[in-house]
Structures are given as C-alpha cells and as structure tokens.
A and B are shown apart, each in its own frame.
Chain A
Amino acid sequence: MLKYILRRLLMIIPVLLGAIIVVFTINYFSTTDPAMVKLGLSASDPVKLEAMRETMGLNRPYIVQLGEYLWNLLHGNLGDSYVYSKTVWELLGNRIPNTLRIGLGAMVISVCVGIPLGLVAALHQNSALDYITTAIAVFMNAMPGFLVAVLLMIVFGLKLQWLPTSGADSAKSFILPIIAAGIGPICQDARMTRSSVLEVIRQDYVRTARAKGIAEGKVITRHVLKNSLIPILTMVGSGLGTCLAGSILVEMIFNIPGMGMLINSSIMSKDFITVQGCVVICAIVVALANLLTDLAYAFVDPRIMAQYTGGNKKKKKAEEAA
C-alpha cells in the first residue's frame, strides 16, 4: 500500500509539470509585457523599459525562463508580483486559508447534507419525498452560483440581518459563502447518492442480507451504503476542484480576501505571475484531492485494494507458511 501511495505521488509530478508548462506558456506568449506592467506609468521611457526587461530576465530564451521558473518553484518560490513589491507567495499566504475554508466547508456540507438527502430519496423511491428532493436538487443545481449567493445575501444579510454579507472578519462571515459555494455540490452529491444507492439496493447480496433476517436499517448501513460509496467518493473528490473554481465568484460577491479575489484582481491588473502562482497552487490541491479519492477507494473496496497491493498479501502468507 505504501509503495502504491509513493507511486501515485510520483505520478502527480508529470500532471503538475504539464499544468505549469501550459500556464507559463500562455503567460509567455501573451501580448502583455511584464516589464511594462511592473513599471506602470514610467513604462513610456523605452530605455527604462529595456533596462527592466533585462533585470527581469525577459530577454532570455523561452526555455531558459521556463527552467528558471520551475527551479524557483522547486524551492517554493513563485516569483515576484509585477504590481506589488511583494513575492507571489506573500500575496497568497494569508489568502489560501480563506479559500480553503470556503472550499472545504462547501465540501463538508455537501457530504453532510447531500448524501443523506440522496439516501432518503432512494429509500423512498417514487414517493412524493423522492420527487420533491430530486426536483429541488435539479433546480438548485441549474441555478447559477452567483444568483444563489446574491439571494442569500438579500435574505439573511439584508432582510433578516442574521449574518454579515461581506468581509472575512469572523467565523460568521463564512457561513453564507460556504452555503453559496456548497449548494451545487450538495445537489450533485444528492443525485449521485440516490442513483448509486438505487443501483446497489437491487443487488442480490442485499437480498441475501435481508434473507439473513438483518433489520432493514442495518441492511442499509452495513450492506448498501458501503457498496454505493465509490461513485459518491468520485463526486466528492472532484467536488473540491469545483469548489475552488466556484470560490472566485463567491469571494468576489462576499468580498472575501481569498485566492479567488486575488486571481480576479491580478487578471485585472495584468499581474500574470500571480495568476500563474494561484493556478499552480490550485493544481497541487486538486491533484492531492484526486490522490486522496483514489486512496479512499481502496479502503472502501477490497477489490481495488487487491489491485494496489498486487498480491503482496498472498506472497507474505506463503512466506509465513514456509
């Protein structure tokens, strides 16, 4: 198993490398001149501009610049912002926690609300409860995130005045953003859980469990749920990526200084090195989330575990016997 985790960690490297090269290349070939962005108003002086290009190393060939970026990245250096006199990492540092709070918060509520909802719908298939849950899930899933966010703000922030509508001052400030970012994943998890449970509940082994005299509640928790977890896990795992992407919108609406806001303002001010840094961080987070999902499969399903361990157990047994 450990061997497998290490192998999977190694396999993340080419994925990240690919993502980094793509972002870097787009940035490199964009018509924006970083030296111009950095100089701001004084960029009109061609001598200064040329000098700046030289100090930033922009006159070197593409491959050298890429190599340097990767080398710096390896040392945890994401480069210096074009706009602020700070490193990208300094800009990102205190924003990542805010974004992760929203992203993970949305993931947690999607699991805690979506899965039970889907389960209830599946267990009462074709009942009014099922139709209502499914209809709401489809409706909310189709509703754009910004609309949900604005509605939440109006209702809970302005009308009821229960929760703050902007800023990241207290834990309370995160409630509405988390709900806004979580609504989509909740609906997706609910629908995935419903279909997955419905599939499993008709399997022969569920009938076997009932024929053993096991009470229905235990049949569901012991035999149905664990078997229907794989597609749900996939959904939850990929949900983190969705939540991160959704955070750009949510952070802007709720005015939360997170990575999403940073990406947005950096694009606006053409601070592409910062955008690049944000994308790299997101890529790492998503790659790790995928790895965790894959590992979770193995703990749920012994057949997948067997593929990973590749018959090591049998060998061990044989050795013990000998």
Chain B
Amino acid sequence: MSLLEIKDLTIHFPTEEGDVRAVNGISLSVEEGKTLGLVGETGAGKTTTALGILRLVPEPGEIENGSIVYKGKDILSMQEKEVQDIRGNEISMIFQDPMTALNPVMTVGDQVAEVILRHQNCSKTEAQKRMVDILAKVGIGADRAGDYPHQFSGGMKQRVVIATALACNPKLLLADEPTTALDVTIQAQVMEMINELKAEFQTSMILITHDLGIVAESCDSVAIMYAGQIVEYGSLEDIFDHTTHPYTIGLFGSIPSLEKKVHRLQPISGLMPDPVNLPTGCCFHPRCPYADERCAQEAPAAAEVSPGHLCRCHYWETVRGKEAEDNV
C-alpha cells in the first residue's frame, strides 16, 4: 500500500468572477521512502494540491471532491484535531518563499522548538536540545537560535524552514519549490541537504518544482501538471526517456540540452489558460501542435502507455511515433 494515495482531488475557489478551477480531479500516489516530482508551470495547481493534502487550502477554496488517503485513512474525512496532529508531525511542508514563511517577531529557535513541543511529548529543555540538533543538521549554529528571521539571509531562512519541517521526522515531506526563491549557488546546496536529510530520516517527498533538472536528480516518479490536471504520470525513466504527452515534450523543448545541438529553444507558444475559463475538451489543445477538432470537443482520458505510465492525450501514439522519428 502506498503511503499517500490521492484520488480525483478537485479544489475550486468560488469567486465573484466565477469558479477558479485550480485542481481538477488529480490522482497520484507516493510510496514509502520515494520522491514524487510534481512539475508544471506557475498556476498549474501544484501548491494548491500540496495545501489540499494538509487541508490548508486558503479561503474561499473548497475541496469539492476526491479522497486523500494517508496510511489507510482519508484526511478529508478526519476531525480538525486529527489533521492538526498530522500537520508538522507526519506530513510537513517546506514553503516556497522563505522570506515570508517565518514569523518576524519570534526567534528562529522558538519557531523550530514550537513544532517539537507541539508533537513530541517532551519537556521544554528537551525540545530546546532537539531544536539545537536539528538546526545543526541544516548548518545553523546553536548561537544563532536566539536570532530573529530578519538577521538571516534568504538561504539561511530556507534552512530554518527546512529544519522546522523536518523537526518531527515526518513520514511525508511536501517541498513546494524549495529552491525557487534562492540564488543558483545556494539552490544546489539546499537540494543536496534536503536529499541527505530525506535519506537519513527515510522520508517520502512530494517535490513541487518547475525545474526538470532538479526532478532528474531527486525524483523516483514524476507527475506533470497542467491547468489543474495531471497530463502525464510515470516513473522518472518513463517521463524523461519515453516522453509522450505534447506538453511534456514542450517542457523539455524549452530547456537547453547538453547533448543535442539546438539553434533555438522551442518554448511552448501561448499562455497557461485562465482557471476561471478553462478550454473545452483537452485543456492543452489551444497550445498543442498536434491538436484537432476532437481535442477541442472531448477531454482525453488517461491512457496507459506502459504499466504505470499514464498520459492524457487522444493522440499519444502519433505523438510518440513522431518524437521517435525526430530523435533518430
């Protein structure tokens, strides 16, 4: 059994301008000790999905449908108290922007110790000791525990955020673009640290990112998200070596390759659709080079390309064939 199994998760934000359809029936699963990469452009619904797992979707968002089964229990049908016991303890989240994720009027030590005191039945002195330990693990000395967030650089703040997330040895870590707000030089360090700690604690992880490079380094399986749907889902090899969905192909086309000589990068033309007015049929059809009338009318079901490799495209076989030709 998987550690986390999401089925048909749908999250909408009813607003005056209409329903913002952020997440539209996604299904995925995370195995124990494995990492799932959740990849997509800004606005694809990645963060909302992660917040949905913790039941922290901001107002006026609503989880309309679906189930999130963690260790055999549906988080969505739990009491608020039960969810609170899970948050920060069994499932914890690393937030995207370390600059704003820390309380400016509380020392970083207190912020880390807070989560330990909340979940680990221990005394204050014991919590202090563990706080110092976990800060040391992310490379922050004990002398800095009494400092406030404004005394830290961005990279150091992200370390504090990671320490907070890992303080209770969670089973599942939701890392929401943990390196996006950081300098390139720091990015590698932080990713390396997350992977080391993850291995040490045997933690599973959902890594939200738009950086395919990071995915290749750290993930076991990958879900490509577009307009609130998972358009392609499979193991790392499936996605990287047997790319099938036109959107995924587009993503790879937008990054420079070391192996192939390319004159110009080929970005995906057009923009992400407005989640209030999603296109009919396949959401990707207005930007898809393979689209025809059928794509505009009929939403594609998830086709099984190979065992465990799913792709939401009517013409995945054609696309696959064309790609294979091009690569020869």
A208 to B118, CA, bound (A): 14
A4 to B221, CA, bound (A): 57
Residues of A within 8 A of B85 (CB): 213
DSSP class of B's interface residues: helix, strand, loop or mixed? mixed
Binary contact readout B56-67 vs A (1 if CB under 8 angstroms, 0 otherwise): 101000000000
Among A202, A210, A223, A317, the residue within 8 A (CB) of B87 is: A210
Residues of B within 8 A of A303 (CB): 104, 148, 150
State whether A213 and B119 are in contact (beta carbons under 8 Å apart), knowing that A204-B100, A205-B101, A226-B105 are contacts in the complex. Answer: yes
**A55 at the B interface (CB under 8 A):** no
Residues of B within 8 A of A215 (CB): 84
Residues of B within 8 A of A301 (CB): 104-105
State whether A211 and B88 are in contact (beta carbons under 8 Å apart), knowing that A302-B148, A302-B150, A303-B150 are contacts in the complex. Answer: yes
Contact between B100 and A212 (Cβ–Cβ < 8 Å)?
A: no
Among A208, A211, A213, A300, the residue within 8 A (CB) of B103 is: A208
Contact between A205 and B88 (Cβ–Cβ < 8 Å)?
A: no
**A86 at the B interface (CB under 8 A):** no
A209 to B92, CA, bound (A): 11
Please tell me the size bucket of the interface on B.
20 to 34
* Minimal Cβ-Cβ distance residue in A for B116: A212
Contact between A208 and B101 (Cβ–Cβ < 8 Å)?
A: yes
**A227 at the B interface (CB under 8 A):** yes
A222 to B113, CA, bound (A): 14
User: How distant is B229 from chain A, measured CB to nearest CB, in Å?
Assistant: 25
**B164 at the A interface (CB under 8 A):** yes
Contact between A205 and B102 (Cβ–Cβ < 8 Å)?
A: yes
Among A202, A207, A213, A317, the residue within 8 A (CB) of B115 is: A213
Binding site for A on B (CB under 8 A): 54, 56, 58, 84-89, 92-93, 95, 97, 100-107, 114-115, 118-119, 143, 148, 150-151, 161, 164
Which 5 pairs show the lowest CB-CB distances between chains A and B? A212-B88, A213-B87, A213-B88, A204-B100, A212-B115
For the complex with contacts A205-B101, A208-B102, A212-B118, 7 further pairs of A-B residues with Cβ separation under 8 Å are A204-B95, A207-B58, A207-B101, A211-B87, A212-B115, A213-B89, A214-B84
